[in-house]
Chains A and B, each alone.
Chain A
Amino acid sequence: MKPRNSETSLNRRVRAADEDLPLVDRALAGDTQAFDELVHRHQSRVYRTTLSVTCNPEDAEEALQDTFLNAYRHLREFRRDSRFTTWLTRIAINAALQKLRHRRENVSLDDPDLPESMHMPKHFESWQQNPEQLYATEELRRIVQEAIAAVPPAYRVVLVLRDLAEVDTVEAAEVLGLTIAAVKSRLLRARLMVRERLAARFEKRPGWKSKFVRAGWMVRGMMTGRLAKLPGQKEVN
């Protein structure tokens, strides 16, 4: 839950900075062009959100439509104690989760309390210089989406909000009804889980060159050891 002591000043700041409010007011007065402008401003971010939560283009599109249709129908219920985008993002997350529930059961936002081994790093090799260039764009997108899809929904929604929808920690906590500490903790785990999946694809594998170099060092070590034992030979460092 949002910390109560900072709510008033935060909301005052939020209201002052919310550039969507004039359009919201016009839409409430019946100006559909104003609502279209809100859609134009936010549809891409909402689509990115629904796609990343559902990991399915058809579900993402339906959730996108549900988001704006519901926002239009319930615009009067938008209480200006948060930014319009926060309110809209909350609707988008719920619409996307609804689609997930249609496909699977038990999509819960409760912390699944997974064992630490689920997110502790296991890959410690450096990655290749430009891993993006190893794959065609579509293939890379599929790899990343699969990595995101493998994160449990309770963590995935946090990752989507923070890293893809560019919602800040306080707003993400507000959208999901979590504490700020819980958002940070889930974000850490989600990021490490995605990293682990990508690491399996992107990390440097010891190729012939590095094997050759390593073998060279071994031979050098053996030779210098032997040479050092020869009579009259200076000690080799």
Chain B
Amino acid sequence: MLDCRQVLAEISNYLDDDVALELTHAIEKHLARCHRCWVVYNTTRRTLEIMSDCLPTAAPIPVSERLHARLRQLYTAGN
């Protein structure tokens, strides 16, 4: 039987699906009966989603244009 501390230590690996099957079952059993650990698990999962969703997925166009301008200078200097 896992205690809260042991579950917390594996929360990140569990989210990454990077724990052995037996440990996965033990974690799930604990999460089903421990509300606090379930909240930590669920809100950590939401943290990753929110982090990923709200940061820019593309470099802004002016940033990209200035990068290409710098590269063109470098290409010309190299030739």
Contact = CB atoms under 8 A, between A and B. Distances in A.
Classify the secondary structure of B's interface with A: helix
A134 to B, nearest CB: 11
A201 to B, nearest CB: 10
Interface in B33-58: 35-36, 39-40, 42-44, 46-48, 50-58
Interface in B53-76: 53-59, 63-64, 66-68, 70-71, 74-75
Contact of A44 (B13, B16, B58): B58
A137 interface: yes
Contact of A121 (B8, B18, B46, B57): B8
A184 B44 contact: no
Interface string A15-34: 00000000000000000100
B57 A194 contact: no
Interface string A33-62: 001100100011011100110000000010
B7 to A, nearest CB: 11
Contact of A169 (B18, B52, B63): B18
B70 A69 contact: yes
B27 interface: no
Contact of B51 (A47, A164, A184): A164
Contacts of B39: 124-126
Nearest to A192: B44
Classify the secondary structure of A's interface with B: helix
Contacts, number: 115
A194 B46 CA distance: 11
Contacts of B40: 121, 124, 192, 195
A43 B36 contact: no
B9 interface: yes
B43 to A, nearest CB: 5
A98 B17 CA distance: 34
A61 B66 contact: yes
A65 interface: yes
Interface in A187-206: 187-188, 191-192, 194-195, 198-199, 202-203
Given A39-B68, A121-B8, A51 B42 contact: no
A144 B42 CA distance: 17
Given A48-B56, A69-B71, A163 B63 contact: no
Nearest to A121: B40
A65 B66 contact: yes
Interface in A105-159: 120-121, 123-127, 131-132, 137, 140-141, 144-145, 148
